[in-house]
Structure 1
């Protein structure tokens, strides 16, 4: 086959990955041998075909592409094996895993990495020591298998939404050569820089070892030493184009780059005040989503709870960020490390509490927007709360799509291969930790469970967890973006 033909065929397969996956699964399911029925492979195939059907019930109108504005930031991601990198620079495993808000030296890096590596919890830390960060970057260049890509919350979400059928206005700061690799459906509002910020993504698989430590699940530890992203450099250019763009959805993310950054007095507050004004200017017809991230600076989180969170009617976060935000709302300290594999009932109770607390605050203050959508993504499952009677639509299909996107991204494939998947969600789950709560079984032919409570609908979908990890970094951004696409 000629190279050009191969490229065209590969492009077509990626474009129609969902349809192909559905057909393959249906054929396999029909022709499987009787002795396989009821087996693990048959169960995974049944769950997959059902998720694909749920995802395909609705689609994005290609004739009228939804318009999404996404800010902020941009960087070059260098993706490496985290343990190999630490071995490369000769950093020995520490005897004392320890949390640090930021990294000042190699000893703190070892302690912080061990702290999150063993439970397999995602983390991101600012490296104040530029010499150490440069050493890590240079060592990563020499590691076999290192990969480079466009990174940052906003660009990753923009890439997913453009792929799924949206036109995107992206507030980001890039070098000119990286602008060339973005989708034609992405318009960049921001400054060009000669030297973009670099994020070092230290990935590790489940069962990886570093000295006496063994990771309980695949995840990543991210370090950066940004110069541009903490200042939301693209915000003014983004704001100028936002009014004419008239988006259906405004997405704000990447604010964790401000976490423990050494701003001058009042500088961060001024930036967040400007951001609040920008978010407040969004029309009533524009939905607003805020994507959470790993924060440890309590002052910054308090400022976000005051000036950013109340201006969004949708929030996205993972199993670490949910209890962190909830703890602060309840008057406690930041929760640095939470259960990386929480039960469904625990997460649903936390989601209900967050939904109630934020809406109570909205009612009392009379400012901003009511929270009408909440999406929490975990390794084992996706969960959404969506208020009745709002613009958010297709919640069941969106939850299924988020679940499938988790596998696709982590495995690095448009198709879902059940030979590289496993279910770790329980065969049934309680809807709450309250005594006597209803249990819902995981049905292979209807894996997305949806029900109504109070003034909202809840949907929960299992994830076909990828067992041959290509990349975990960017997973949350891809999952959140995919879920939003079907709801705007």
Structure 2
């Protein structure tokens, strides 16, 4: 089949998206937990950095020195920014002192505030897609955080009295803002310190994070109690926010114990909704002990997990598949990544796993899983449409605009990755019709693959994976 005919066939498959979007409004409830924060985005120039150094009377030696990737002083924050600027790299350092947070707030500020954290991003996506009741957990909800939630009546959190309220309107005045500064800089810009000039080789960003609560996976007691109430009905729980944990937390407590405590809490929520589907969105977790425990413990207890290419490679590294991880790192195509998915599928015994990679989404699940292959494909197509809309317009804040990309064709990159997957599946499992239909089943498993729409000049890619995973799952009705 020619590319033209193949794209036409996939356009016909994608015609299900409006119906699937409408079905999402039939979902009676969903919990999105645990992490939400404020992303404070600002673009700085070399001259801005020079002025900040000058007005703060910082010593050049202290801000140019190598050292620990953490922020305990004002100079550490500038040191991290300069390191990224000089190399054109992205990095994230944690702020450990409230005084530094206050200094950044007063000196650097921001150009705009936006929702941050997988839990918050998923909650906004589910609410705008029409889920009847979206319950979002926040470790902290001052006005600055709550205003990042969409102004929708179906998106709810608990207020300071433990009562459900529209999340957008909550102001827990005693709560501290949890801010991740995203400080962006441009290629070719120049910074001069103590007579030495540095030119930025690549546009990128430095993230300075003040988030003492999500850092330890703090769980709001009032929210916990409300979700345990028998009157609260929900069909899905989307879990995220574990990636900031470390084996030993700054206060000396155990990251593993925080994971165990969260599992007990979620199990308690599900007692009144035993048929609810539990999805774990895996994010890039730097602490290998925590990463291993999440895969060994949490991933084996949930109904579904989601990850991108990098996160899949990270998992392979800690389950004894180092060679395959290296292969995937060198050639991050669908063939290698699918072989990696099979390893994760066998290791975790999780009944449904989903990969979202550039140009292609792939779901691997047990035979006769509760969501059929055709339902999965329809959900994944809806997710691809909405993700393309987010990339192309910069936001998905209005339900009327969610299918902005509905007339776009699937990408050549996606079709090529699908063909590569077809060849690998043919070698491993025999003849299949993945290229035309995106579905393969045998006596043991089901494979669903969808080529996606790629926007050439995206306005934003922030939170894309969380949006894709959640809509793929909940939109598969």
TM superposition shift of 1:436: 4.7
Q: Residue by residue, what CA displacement relative to the aligned partner does 1:462-482 show, whole Å, maximum 9, x if unpaired? A: 222222222221111111121
Secondary structure, in 3 states, of the residue corresponding to 2:300?
helix
Verify: 1:345 aligned to 2:335, yes or no: yes
Residue of 245, 267, 276 corresponding to 1:258: 245
Residue of 63, 78, 98 corresponding to 2:40: 78
- Which residue number in structure 1 is paired with residue 309 of structure 2? 319
TM superposition shift of 1:439: 9.4
| C-alpha separation in 1, matches of 2:185 and 2:382 | 25
CA contact (8 A) 1:388 1:456 kept: yes
| C-alpha separation in 2, matches of 1:425 and 1:269 | 38
RMSD over aligned Cα atoms: 4.2
CA contact (8 A) 1:430 1:439 kept: no
- Which residue number in structure 1 is paired with residue 266 of structure 2? 279
Verify: 1:248 aligned to 2:235, yes or no: yes
CA contact (8 A) 2:434 2:440 kept: no
- Which residue number in structure 2 is paired with residue 148 of structure 1? 113
Verify: 1:232 aligned to 2:217, yes or no: yes
- Which residue number in structure 2 is paired with residue 383 of structure 1? 362
| C-alpha separation in 1, matches of 2:460 and 2:433 | 31
| C-alpha separation in 2, matches of 1:235 and 1:336 | 40
| C-alpha separation in 1, matches of 2:425 and 2:71 | 41
Residue of 225, 232, 255 corresponding to 1:268: 255
CA contact (8 A) 2:391 2:458 kept: yes
Change (3 A) 1:462 1:89: farther
| C-alpha separation in 2, matches of 1:439 and 1:129 | 59
| C-alpha separation in 2, matches of 1:420 and 1:187 | 36
| C-alpha separation in 1, matches of 2:136 and 2:474 | 16
Structure-to-structure mapping, 1:107-186, within 5 angstroms: 107-111=79-83, 117=89, 124-128=92-96, 141=109, 146-166=111-131, 167-172=133-138, 173-176=140-143, 178-179=145-146, 181-182=149-150, 183-186=152-155
- Which residue number in structure 2 is paired with residue 430 of structure 1? 421
- Which residue number in structure 1 is paired with residue 460 of structure 2? 471
TM superposition shift of 1:54: 3.7
| C-alpha separation in 2, matches of 1:420 and 1:140 | 42
Residue of 28, 49, 58 corresponding to 1:89: 49
TM superposition shift of 1:330: 1.6
Change (3 A) 1:353 1:331: closer
TM superposition shift of 1:136: 5.8
Q: How many residues align?
A: 417
TM superposition shift of 1:150: 2.6
Q: Residue by residue, what CA displacement relative to the aligned partner does 1:268-293 show, whole Å, maximum 9, x if unpaired? A: 34322211212333244111111111
TM superposition shift of 1:379: 2.3
- Which residue number in structure 2 is paired with residue 399 of structure 1? 380
| C-alpha separation in 2, matches of 1:115 and 1:341 | 24
| C-alpha separation in 2, matches of 1:296 and 1:337 | 20
TM superposition shift of 1:132: 6.7
Secondary structure, in 3 states, of the residue corresponding to 2:468?
helix
Unaligned ranges ≥5, structure 1 = 1-37, 360-370
CA contact (8 A) 1:421 1:467 kept: no
Structure-to-structure mapping, 1:40-59, within 5 angstroms: 46=8, 49-50=11-12, 52-59=14-21
TM superposition shift of 1:398: 1.3
TM superposition shift of 1:169: 1.2
| C-alpha separation in 2, matches of 1:307 and 1:68 | 23
TM superposition shift of 1:372: 1.5
Secondary structure, in 3 states, of the residue corresponding to 2:460?
coil
Secondary structure, in 3 states, of the residue corresponding to 1:58?
helix
Q: Which moved more, 1:416-425 or 1:168-177?
A: 416-425
Secondary structure, in 3 states, of the residue corresponding to 1:184?
coil
Change (3 A) 1:419 1:62: closer
- Which residue number in structure 1 is paired with residue 167 of structure 2? none
CA contact (8 A) 2:119 2:241 kept: yes
Change (3 A) 1:336 1:321: farther
Q: Residue by residue, what CA displacement relative to the aligned partner does 1:305-354 show, whole Å, maximum 9, x if unpaired? A: 34422221111111111110121122759979974982111121111110
Secondary structure, in 3 states, of the residue corresponding to 1:273?
helix
Q: TM-score under structure 1 normalisation?
A: 0.71
Change (3 A) 1:123 1:53: farther
Change (3 A) 1:487 1:425: closer
Change (3 A) 1:337 1:224: farther
CA contact (8 A) 2:34 2:119 kept: yes
CA contact (8 A) 1:89 1:139 kept: no
